[in-house]
Amino acid sequence: MKKMLLILTFLSLGGSLATNRHLIEDITTQIHFYKPGVCQNLETKKSRCAVSSDDCIPRSAKFGEKWMNSNAMEIANIPSCTCEKTQVKACFTKIDGGHSKEFRCAPRKDDYCDKGDDSYNFVPSNAANSVCFCDELRSMIDEPAKPTLYGACLDPTDKANFFCAFSPDYCEMGHVWVDPRVVKSLGGEECTCENTRVGGCVGGFQGFHCAISEDGCYSNTFIKPLSLKAEHNHACLLCNKRTRIYKEDEIDHTPNRSQSSGSNKKAVAIALCVTLVVLIALSMAYYLQGRKKKYGKEESNPKNIETNFSDNTNSSPSNVIL
């Protein structure tokens, strides 16, 4: 009986641990990575990788292009793009009295270039073969390559709360935009494609996927990074290039509101179920143990049964009424 009780106890504990493990898995943030789209020439149908639709030449202009997100690319059998394969433009500034220019890679004009910058365009062909990509500036003379820097969204009430972001459009819930060149002063790290957040698309008939903006969604709703974590427990990063470990940011520490209440209810239900199983198991064990004691004594003395039966068969005939 003791062995049986031990087995039941271990089974109950095992079930409780397994359930708790699944509970932990349920509240773990799901990490995803953005897949860039392409800008396709309307006449030649030639495509080039692009971070967002803002990179495409307007349809009405000469050599106009149309934007195709990763889903449209897959349908059209166009090879997928990655951040490492996707070129971005640069902010150009005149130096030496306007005789030359310097540049810095930037995925957007309005939020990354200064008012005094001369222009925003792709880096032209040059002797150093310098090219700006979504992940870094690659050049024959720069070794190692310089990462493309991104901005951040900061909580002004607590400067410890911020996250790297592709666009200031992501700065919701009172957050403010921080220039890419200033981000390092906040927490000692720069924002690169590896730790830069983008939004995601939820609902609809398509599965979850990351996006820069609404035009990156297939048939569902675009959600900004902070709300994406708080309401849907998803997180999206600009690229899947993991060269080093970055510090956790505000989004990493943002609780998932949709699951916090549900998880508490689930934990209570789990505890009640485990307790009920243990009580039933113990009740059954005590019941079986009692039956064994009761009937074990009777079976241990069979002679008494034979004696009683013999006495009944030898009773006087006068006791029988005909």
* CA pair distance 306, 322, nearest whole angstrom: 27
Read off φ and ψ for residue 117, nearest 5 degrees. -65, 145
Asked whether the beta carbons of 256 and 217 are under 8 A apart, the reply is: no
User: Residue holding tokens 């032209």?
Assistant: 124
What single DSSP character describes residue 8? H
Strand ranges in 123-255 using DSSP code E only, listed in sequence order: 131-132, 136-138, 146-147, 151-154, 162-165, 176-178, 197-202, 209-211, 221-223, 234-237
Asked whether the beta carbons of 120 and 90 are under 8 A apart, the reply is: yes
Task: Locate the domains of the chain by residue range.
Answer: 1-32+149-259
User: Residue holding tokens 């800008």?
Assistant: 39
Please tell me whether residue 9 adopts helix, strand or coil conformation.
Answer: helix
| Contact partners, residue 131, CB within 8 Å, separation at least 6 | 87, 123, 137, 138, 139
pLDDT tens-place values along the chain, 322 residues long: 444 444 444 444 444 433 343 333 334 678 999 999 999 999 999 999 999 999 999 999 999 999 999 999 999 999 999 999 999 999 999 887 767 788 999 999 989 999 889 899 999 888 678 999 999 999 877 667 899 999 999 999 998 899 999 999 999 999 999 999 999 998 789 999 999 999 999 987 778 999 999 999 988 899 999 999 999 999 999 999 888 888 899 999 999 876 544 444 444 344 444 455 445 665 665 556 665 555 555 445 544 444 443 444 444 433 433 3
